[in-house]
Amino acid sequence: MRPSTLESEFFPDPKDPRRFARIRDYFFICGYGTVRDNEKILKEHGITHVVDCANLVKARKAEDVEYLHIAVQDFATEDISKFFHLTADFIERAVRGVRGIVCAYCAAGVSRSATICLMYLVIKEKLNLREAFRLVHRARPIICPNLGFWHQMIDYEKEHNDGKATVKIIFGSNGAHPDVYPKCSL
């Protein structure tokens, strides 16, 4: 699949928040502003399913696209873990069942949708959390799930990996953060 015109010409910088980022040939992440008034980008990439984490009132829907809306705020105290299996199952049914293509988005494509993408890769593709982060971060370098979401992802990994986690929260002069973040971004 070749990069889209919008992806390669209008938003060449991978750190541009408007970029429509490909994680896998069948799996994309972006911010709501990228797709809000641009059904063309969904059609251009063959998107058949969307995980909407934006929690916006009456977000516009594209025709012939199946949506899963999850109501979650981007707060460290918010329980996003209750959506891990629901969203992973939705994505899996789309890509394995009907050979669909999925896009996950939230307001900025940085925290909520990134968390959902990471956990799909952990739950269904059996990547560890560190590997999943590297893959999604390579596609969209601006991902930055909030610290509460990181704690929930790490707890999930521990529960399903004999108490072991591949990502740790570390404390430094800039506060607490996961040890996967590049030093230059802190």
Of the candidates 30, 53, 103, 106, the residue annotated as catalytic is 106
Q: Are the beta carbons of 30 and 105 closer than 8 angstroms?
A: yes
DSSP code string of 114-143: HHHHHHHHHHTS---HHHHHHHHHHH-TT-
Distance, CA of 111 to CA of 108 (rounded, Å) = 8
The answer to whether residue 103 is catalytic is no
Distance, CA of 29 to CA of 123 (rounded, Å) = 17
Q: Are the beta carbons of 20 and 28 closer than 8 angstroms?
A: yes
> Whose CA is closest to 116, among 96, 136, 138?
136
Distance, CA of 132 to CA of 38 (rounded, Å) = 28
Alpha-carbon distance values, 52 to 41, 109, 116, 125, 182 (Å): 16, 10, 10, 21, 27
| Residues noted as catalytic | 106
